[in-house]
Structure 1
Amino acid sequence: MLPLSEIARVGATVDASWRSPVADEVAAAWGIAPGEARWLRSSATHVFVVPADVDARGALFVRFVPASLRTVRDLAAPARLLAAWSVHGCTVAPVPSTAGRLVETVPTALGPVHATVVRAAPGEEVTLDDLTPPLAQSWGASLARLHRDAPALAAADEPPPLDLAVLGDDPVLHAAAHAVLDDASLLGSPRGTLHGDLELDNLRWADGRPVAFDADEARTGPFVQDVAAAVRDLLGDTPGSVEHPELLADFIAGYREVRPLSDADVSALELHSAAVAVRLLVSIAHVAADPAPDEAPWSADLRASVVEHRRRLRARVLAATVGR
């Protein structure tokens, strides 16, 4: 997640019609006319959308992040994976810039940024309330196809190792996080290239099949940990209890139609879910718990939601080590 100060910095450039001169500077590298990119959201990256009726390539999503916060690798490796997976219909394809590159480093009024553009994923969003057994099976099969078809990541493409020091002065959490990661690594589950975050929020659905539109969290790891990341809403927030067991069984059945997933790995889903929680805690550790002076209401609300999310993640990590 971007720092709240960075979200505010770009937000201050967005006008009442959701346009930004900074976005225009970025979009120009893809031949997109000024004023066509409109702010959509800022989370892991800043995202601006180009409506389908203003560009011959259809709806486009312009995504960028300050070069001070991310490296070119952080965008380039996911873009290459999207391109590889799109051949099989599992993801949208990234759009090359006018110079033919999938990632551009663009100077802007706010400093250099790394940027990519992707096409809009076809179809509609499916929420947990909308999920049916056939859709859950299709979701599981899609993740299995990503695992089956993904090229191996080079060492230079891997994200940096987790830095648990950013979790702060919380010795109980530190001990639990180390234990969870150690236990998960000792299970010997099959490994390969992971999408990293194939949850429902990151999918669009057409004709009963999901399509992913980013791969920002891609890395090498145990395939079952990718399953745990995808189905965390099905697992729920109560350790030791699966909130949606029938839909989880449907997801696993769909996955197994494409590639193996052992009973031992399924039994270890909760441990791997805790390992995913550790990674998520690291990614949002920079968000301070206390509000800043004169903080804008949107920032205070977002900060509060992150703090609550952090509380739930911490509880999941600690629950995974009970009885050790």
Structure 2
Amino acid sequence: MDRHVLQVIKRFRPLIPNMMKLSLMKRFYDTVEDRRSPVLDEISRRWFETSETQMYRASANFVARVVSEGSTYFLRFNHNTERSIGHIEAELRYIHRLIDRGINANVPVHSLSGNLVESVDTGLGVFHSVMFEEVPGVHIESDDLDTNGFKLWGTALARVHETGEGQEISCVPSWYNHLDSIRSIAQDNPVLLSEVEKIEKILGGYDQTGNYGLIPFDFEMDNIKWVDELPGFMDFDDFCYHWYAADIAFALRDLHGDKMSDFDPVDPHFISFIKGYREIKEITDGELERIPVFIRFHNLYMYSRIQRASEGEVEETDWVINLHSKLRSKNESYLRDMKENPL
């Protein structure tokens, strides 16, 4: 089991992803042996009477790879303390809107009972679960993209923004909901609290019409597969209402190293990305000048997610110690950057 968990940890990119509580992750991986778990089998049977189900990764969600009758699917499940069923159902409405308008996104699969979401009561509690068809294509790392690749990436994000325009969905958080969550973590830290107060004032002055609406939030290259120059998308679970320029900032985290001081508006890759974006949607230079603010917003958001992931007691096995160290180091770097480069 530990060997597999270490492989899962190695999948984490240098920029730490959203995380579930480590205590929950540890409890689940105690049931995993050689990528298999009775919990996985129990959940996957809601969709397929027989299948080959193996653990794939864990970060904000648990994800398993499922093969049934020669087809590949991905099972995603969250403990009910981590994600509400209302949020998941809202996400699926968003995905169906994208698909209906021609976006190549991961297609949700109905269970044997005809449901898109199954809540399964296991020995570890209730997990809200969804199954998706595999998105065809290959992953490409952002480091391997040339300027044309960045242009295609920008065009792809603009199409997703354009498709979601005007869509009103209940149970979807906004930037302000995220800020409330961040504020609860920041109360005892003067550096964090100062940044939260400043960013709330700045964002409160931005117009929420025009280039504002539903964003996927996590449109990085590891959530896109490519067939030649045609993209397919997955991982919309953190979608929210925000400014489109913020989504550009979030997508290009690798380019600026997750630091607002390292954002370079004349970087050739950034320029190519925006050129591709503007082939589909207008976005002004003034809106793009807000990107450093949105980078700091993302820093604060990720800090709060990491803090919550680390809450509670958890048995200190080697892989937990390893992951805990990664998370602590990331949050220390966020704090250091906020102190050295305040808004």
TM-score by length of 1: 0.89
Letter in 1 for 2:277: Y
C-alpha distance 114-158 of structure 1, shift in aligned 2 (>3 A): same
The answer to whether the 8 A contact 1:180-1:321 is kept is no
Deviation at 1:317, TM superposition (A): 4.4
Unmatched 5+ residue regions in structure 2? 1-18
The answer to whether the 8 A contact 1:14-1:20 is kept is yes
The answer to whether the 8 A contact 2:66-2:73 is kept is yes
2:308 aligned counterpart, secondary structure? coil
5 Å-filtered alignment, 1:145-184, equals 145-150=159-164, 152-158=167-173, 160-161=177-178, 162-163=180-181, 164-167=183-186, 169-184=188-203
What corresponds to 1:39 in structure 2? 55
Letter in 2 for 1:192: G
Deviations 1:143-194 (CA, angstroms, capped at 9, x unpaired): 1111110162333333655321123521111111221232133132621111
What corresponds to 1:268 in structure 2? 290
C-alpha distance 187-29 of structure 1, shift in aligned 2 (>3 A): same
What corresponds to 2:126 in structure 1? 112
The answer to whether the 8 A contact 2:260-2:296 is kept is no
Alpha-carbon distance in 2 for matches of 1:313, 1:153: 33
What corresponds to 1:202 in structure 2? 223
Runs of 4+ with deviation above 4 angstroms: 291-294, 315-320
What corresponds to 2:13 in structure 1? none
The answer to whether the 8 A contact 1:104-1:116 is kept is yes
Alpha-carbon distance in 2 for matches of 1:72, 1:90: 24
TM-score by length of 2: 0.85
- The more displaced of 85-94 and 252-261 is 85-94
Identical-pair percentage? 26
Letter in 2 for 1:30: W
What corresponds to 1:22 in structure 2? 39
What corresponds to 1:247 in structure 2? 269
What corresponds to 1:9 in structure 2? 27
Deviations 1:35-56 (CA, angstroms, capped at 9, x unpaired): x1101111111111013xx335
What corresponds to 2:87 in structure 1? 74
Pairwise CA RMSD of aligned residues?
A: 2.3
C-alpha distance 13-49 of structure 1, shift in aligned 2 (>3 A): same
Query: Structure with the greater relative contact order (CA < 8 A, sep ≥ 6): 1 or 2?
Result: 2
The answer to whether the 8 A contact 1:237-1:316 is kept is no
Unmatched 5+ residue regions in structure 1? none
Alpha-carbon distance in 1 for matches of 2:300, 2:293: 11
* Aligned residue among 307, 312, 321 for 1:285: 307
Alpha-carbon distance in 1 for matches of 2:186, 2:48: 42
2:93 aligned counterpart, secondary structure? helix
2:125 aligned counterpart, secondary structure? coil
